[in-house]
A = this chain, B = another copy of it.
């Protein structure tokens, strides 16, 4: 990789994770953060050394890993502070930042990045050198950036394990509004309705509610900055969903007053059907076309080592597991494992598990 001295401004989840990874690659990493504590934590984790105020560190790359709202200012300051360093950022919005930087005389040294890696948890404390492994890394290059600089950032993405994807800033912002920002807000809105619920009501919660609301535990300060920075693309989609919810509620109230009115069922069926169509379009793992595996269900007693015994048995049987999910039961000591395998392997896996004493059921009923 062409970068040997990297300054990372901001020691949050992304900054610290990049530091950890770059250190593993033998790159010299300097850290800066407004918060001395965050900076020390990142250093103690092994993400780099704290940049001294007096030292002339002469970085060849500066990664600005601060919240989206302050990113344009910090990028411009950085372009002025270092004469020849390439500057990138990691913010999850790109158009506003491009607008804030593109007029700058040194804009040809700035390339926008968005490594699409994140977690519900934030801060250096959650940092992970493998955070970027297999994730898309969006690269947005302005009109004056030389091809070599673009290549260097693409290579940086590859070196930390990510997949570079070239996008225009507006394309990027529109896409993430749809696949990330709006789902985040809606998950929060649904979770918000649970605040006043009784423990008895919440005891009826199943896996569906848990899935829909998982990302609602995300960090409030970070997401506020992200959402505010992409309001232009988020607002229309949120309006679509808001109007859809109110239309549906109106149809339901109408049906309440006038039972049997056809409007209700048509409206509800359409919402569900459109959802079916939309979810079918989400690509499967590794970014390929949506795939269909056969699902083998196994009942897993909740006692020490059972999950380990299951996987050890699967290994002995020799089946390649494409996906595995564990569904917890409420109020009882048992879990349901769903093992996804290619269809031709399902029967073989199921009979092998049965021989080893597991309660097994293949999707489709052919046990």
Contact = CB atoms under 8 A, between A and B. Distances in A.
A307 B302 contact: no
A196 to B, nearest CB: 9
A218 B216 CA distance: 22
Contact of A220 (B234, B273, B279, B319): B273
A305 B299 contact: no
A324 B307 contact: yes
Interface stretch (A31-39, A57-65, A146-154, A281-289): A281-289
A139 to B, nearest CB: 13
Interface stretch (A81-89, A101-109, A197-205): A197-205
A213 interface: yes
A246 B243 contact: yes
A165 B241 contact: no
A236 B274 CA distance: 22
Q: Find the residue from A210, A272, A325 having the highest chain B CB count within 10 A.
A: A272
Interface residues of A, number: 147
Contacts of A235: 249, 252-253, 256
A343 interface: no
A347 interface: no
Contact of A227 (B252, B278, B320, B325): B252
Contacts of A280: 217
Contacts of A332: 133-135, 161, 163, 286
A184 B208 contact: yes
Contacts of A275: 187-192, 213, 216-218
Q: Find the residue from A204, A224, A321 having the highest chain B CB count within 10 A.
A: A204
Nearest to A232: B256
B194 A278 contact: yes
Interface in A145-197: 161, 163, 165, 167, 171, 174-176, 178-180, 182-195, 197
Interface string A292-303: 000001010010
A1 interface: no
A215 B208 contact: yes
A247 to B, nearest CB: 8
A257 to B, nearest CB: 10
A353 interface: no
12 contacts: A130-B299, A135-B330, A165-B204, A180-B208, A192-B278, A205-B283, A227-B268, A232-B256, A241-B242, A285-B302, A286-B329, A308-B321
List the 7 closest A-B pairs by CB distance, nearest first.
Answer: A134-B329, A311-B311, A188-B275, A308-B315, A242-B245, A134-B332, A285-B328
Interface of A: 41, 45, 116, 118, 121, 124-130, 133-136, 138, 161, 163, 165, 167, 171, 174-176, 178-180, 182-195, 197, 199-206, 208-221, 223-225, 227-228, 231-232, 234-246, 248-249, 252-253, 255-256, 264-265, 268-269, 271-287, 297, 299, 302, 304-305, 307-312, 314-315, 318-321, 323-326, 328-336, 359, 361, 363-365
Given A130-B361, A287-B330, 13 more contacts: A121-B363, A129-B361, A186-B189, A188-B275, A189-B241, A193-B241, A202-B283, A228-B264, A228-B265, A231-B264, A283-B330, A285-B302, A308-B311
